[in-house]
Amino acid sequence: MYSIDDFTRPKAYLSPMDEYLGKIVRKWADEEVIPYRRQYDEDWEEHRLIGPAFDKLMGELGIQRVLFPEDLGGWGLGHSNYTAGASFRLFEEVARADSAMAVALGVVYWPMLMICCEPHVNRRLCEEFAPMFCDTEKAVFAANAMTEPQGGADIENLDIVKGSTIRTTAVLEGDEWVINGHKLWPTNSGGVANLLGVVCTTKLGSTDPRDFAFIFVPADLPGVTQGGAYQKSGMAADKNGDIWFENVRVPAYYRACGPGDDNKYFREVISFGNMGSIAFVSGAMLNTFEILKNFVGNRYYRGRPLKENDAVAGVLADIVKDIDIIRIIGYQYARMLDRPDCYGARWEEETVAKGRAYKYFACDRAVEDLGKAMNLMEVCGSDRDWDIEKHWRDLKIVQLWMGGKQLCQVETARLFFDCQTL
Ligand SMILES: Cc1cc2nc3c(=O)[nH]c(=O)nc-3n(C[C@H](O)[C@H](O)[C@H](O)COP(=O)(O)OP(=O)(O)OC[C@H]3O[C@@H](n4cnc5c(N)ncnc54)[C@H](O)[C@@H]3O)c2cc1C
């Protein structure tokens, strides 16, 4: 019997942790999430059910520690040759159960990439923040606060807009940064995050890369206010809200990499965000295959299982060929991030743009395929009992974030066609 494990992966270069990570997360997903996830939509505000499932995965199983160096209680994944490949498997397995849980976990790693990865490990900040994540059995969350009310895409469009629209300011006063501004939508905001990585400017309107600053801010500091979670169409396990910074003071050394390097290595954060997004799509689509396989094998049309009808089989083939290709692309991109010696640095324009191209390809295919799966399932497609419409709602959101499809198109076209004004 063909199963989700038979979709193609580059077996020649999987991480040594792949099998182990995959097994523990799949068991967690099957026992702790899938039986309950239908109730998550109503749990969007309180996280009464969602919270304990996170505690188990992130705190008890220790998945929130993996990026940190081993001697600080982590698993050393941040400085390994498999940071992206192992993360892809992890995110895929979590997303098979719930892609919002996968993004909430992924964003715990997201700002930490700035300080845990070679060649820019910030040992002092690793020592400062590792205990928060490594010395507890409870889930601890981080957030990556980029988006602002005047627009998120412009902030991510680093090559053209160059940080000039960032309105969250960081001013050095003695040995402290004083931060003021307003962010919205970060994953794990809405009162969840304990540690924030904040995109700031040290000079309003500047296009100088040295003025782009990435500064860590513990969420419980005076002057940090988090609003309540927004109610979205899906992704209830990921809380998003407003964060206000009013004269928030942090030590000067809380800046991740320093002038010029914050801007450079933040592009690596973008690359990982796109890699993670593909993994969320891949995981949710693997579960879509499981659901569909059950449905078309056990529903009958003209006395034959649905799958034995030509027109249905054609649609099923369209869907599974996309899943196979999305998975291959996702693992290939993870490999590209893990092997800068072959593919170029994670922060280079080419690497960032290719990640955007693959991310929007995966999202477009998945959203269309979920529509087709729902057509095949007719009323069951819209019935929450089948969980297909859940993946449809969730993956639509993956398509929207990180600058949306247009930024992906712009950066892809810019790379391949050398566009001068986009
Ligand atoms: C579930 C979820 C999780 C999120 N997590 C995070 C997070 O962790 N951190 C964070 O900071 N933000 C996060 N966001 C916010 C998200 O990244 C932004 O919403 C996104 O970047 C788009 O920004 P915007 O909504 O401000 O749209 P805008 O930037 O205002 O864009 C509006 C429209 O203009 C288009 N556009 C923008 N630039 C161009 C261009 N050059 N050419 C053509 N069209 C263009 C956009 O594609 C879009 O269609 C999250 C959002 C969601 C829904």
**Contact 126/132 with Cβ under 8 angstroms?**
no
Residues 235 and 221 placed together within one structural domain of the fold: yes
User: Which of 258, 274, 307 is at the close of a domain?
Assistant: 258
Answer whether residue 302 shows pLDDT above 90. Answer: no
Residues 244 and 119 placed together within one structural domain of the fold: no
Please work out whether the CB of residue 240 comes within 6 Å of at least one atom of ligand 1. yes
Residues 152 and 20 placed together within one structural domain of the fold: no
Residues 266 and 248 placed together within one structural domain of the fold: no
Look at residue 1 in the predicted model and tell me its pLDDT: 86
Residues 280 and 193 placed together within one structural domain of the fold: no
Is it true that the peptide bond before 340 is cis, omega within 30 degrees of 0?
no
Please work out whether the CB of residue 273 comes within 6 Å of at least one atom of ligand 1. no
Beta pairing partners, 245: 181, 224
Whose C-alpha lies nearest to ligand 1, atom 43? 406
pLDDT band at 142 (very low <50, low <70, confident <90, very high): very high
| Residue of 277, 406, 412, 420 best suited for mutating to test ligand 1, as the one with most atoms within 8 Å of CB | 406
Look at residue 104 in the predicted model and tell me its pLDDT: 98
Residues 303 and 237 placed together within one structural domain of the fold: no
Is 123 contained in some domain?
yes
* Amino acid at site 340: P
Please tell me the distance from the alpha carbon of residue 290 to that of residue 268, in angstroms, as a whole number.
Answer: 33
Look at residue 420 in the predicted model and tell me its pLDDT: 81
pLDDT, tens digit (0-9, with 9 covering 90-100), for 10-42:
999 999 999 999 999 999 999 999 999 999 999
Beta strand 195-201 with 142-145 is parallel
Residues 115 and 154 placed together within one structural domain of the fold: no
Is 114 contained in some domain?
yes
pLDDT, tens digit (0-9, with 9 covering 90-100), for 65-75:
999 999 999 99
pLDDT band at 422 (very low <50, low <70, confident <90, very high): confident
| Residue of 99, 407, 421 best suited for mutating to test ligand 1, as the one with most atoms within 8 Å of CB | 407
Answer whether residue 116 shows pLDDT above 90. Answer: yes
DSSP character at residue 238: S
Please work out whether the CB of residue 235 comes within 6 Å of at least one atom of ligand 1. yes
User: Which of 233, 258, 283 is at the close of a domain?
Assistant: 258
Domain count, the chain: 3
Give the distance (Å) from ligand 1 centre to CA of residue 273: 13
Is 239 contained in some domain?
yes
Which residue has 């992966």 as its token pair? 9
Give the distance (Å) from ligand 1 centre to CA of residue 86: 27
Answer whether residue 421 shows pLDDT above 90. Answer: no
Is 166 contained in some domain?
yes
Please work out whether the CB of residue 322 comes within 6 Å of at least one atom of ligand 1. no
Look at residue 32 in the predicted model and tell me its pLDDT: 98
Q: What CATH number does the domain containing 123 carry?
A: 1.10.540.10
pTM: 0.98
Burial class (CB in 10 A: 0-12, 13-18, 19+), 277: buried
Beta strand 212-218 with 242-251 is unpaired
3-state secondary structure 211-257: HEEEEEEECCCCCEEECCCCCCCCCCCCCCCEEEEEEEEEEHHHECC
pLDDT, tens digit (0-9, with 9 covering 90-100), for 334-343:
999 999 999 9
Q: Residue 88: which domain range?
A: 4-140
pLDDT, tens digit (0-9, with 9 covering 90-100), for 370-379:
999 999 999 9
Please tell me the distance from the alpha carbon of residue 168 to that of residue 170, in angstroms, as a whole number.
Answer: 7
| Residue of 103, 147, 156 best suited for mutating to test ligand 1, as the one with most atoms within 8 Å of CB | 147
Residues 136 and 149 placed together within one structural domain of the fold: no
Dihedral sign for Cα atoms in the order 370, 186, 238, 65: positive
DSSP character at residue 67: T
User: Which of 98, 116, 140 is at the close of a domain?
Assistant: 140
Which token pair is 77? 């994944």
Please work out whether the CB of residue 403 comes within 6 Å of at least one atom of ligand 1. yes
Nearest to 285 by CA among 316, 254, 253: 316
Rounded average pLDDT over 243-261: 98
Residues 155 and 182 placed together within one structural domain of the fold: yes
pLDDT, tens digit (0-9, with 9 covering 90-100), for 371-412:
999 999 999 999 999 999 999 999 999 999 999 999 999 999
Is 422 contained in some domain?
no
Q: What CATH number does the domain containing 228 carry?
A: 2.40.110.10
Residues 291 and 411 placed together within one structural domain of the fold: yes
Phi/psi at 247 (nearest 5 deg)?
50, 50
Please work out whether the CB of residue 106 comes within 6 Å of at least one atom of ligand 1. no
Rounded average pLDDT over 360-370: 98
Q: How far apart are the first and last CA of the chain?
A: 49
Answer whether residue 260 shows pLDDT above 90. Answer: yes
Q: What CATH number does the domain containing 391 carry?
A: 1.20.140.10
Residues 228 and 281 placed together within one structural domain of the fold: no
Look at residue 73 in the predicted model and tell me its pLDDT: 97
Provide CB contacts within 8 A for 114, sequence distance 6+: 120, 122, 197, 214, 256, 257, 262, 265, 266, 268, 269
The DSSP H or E segment spanning 352 is helix 349-377
Residues 167 and 184 placed together within one structural domain of the fold: yes
Is 14 contained in some domain?
yes
* Cα dihedral 411/400/183/68 (nearest 10): -80
Q: What is the mean pLDDT of the chain?
A: 97
By percentage, how much of the chain surpasses pLDDT 90?
98
Give the distance (Å) from ligand 1 centre to CA of residue 153: 5
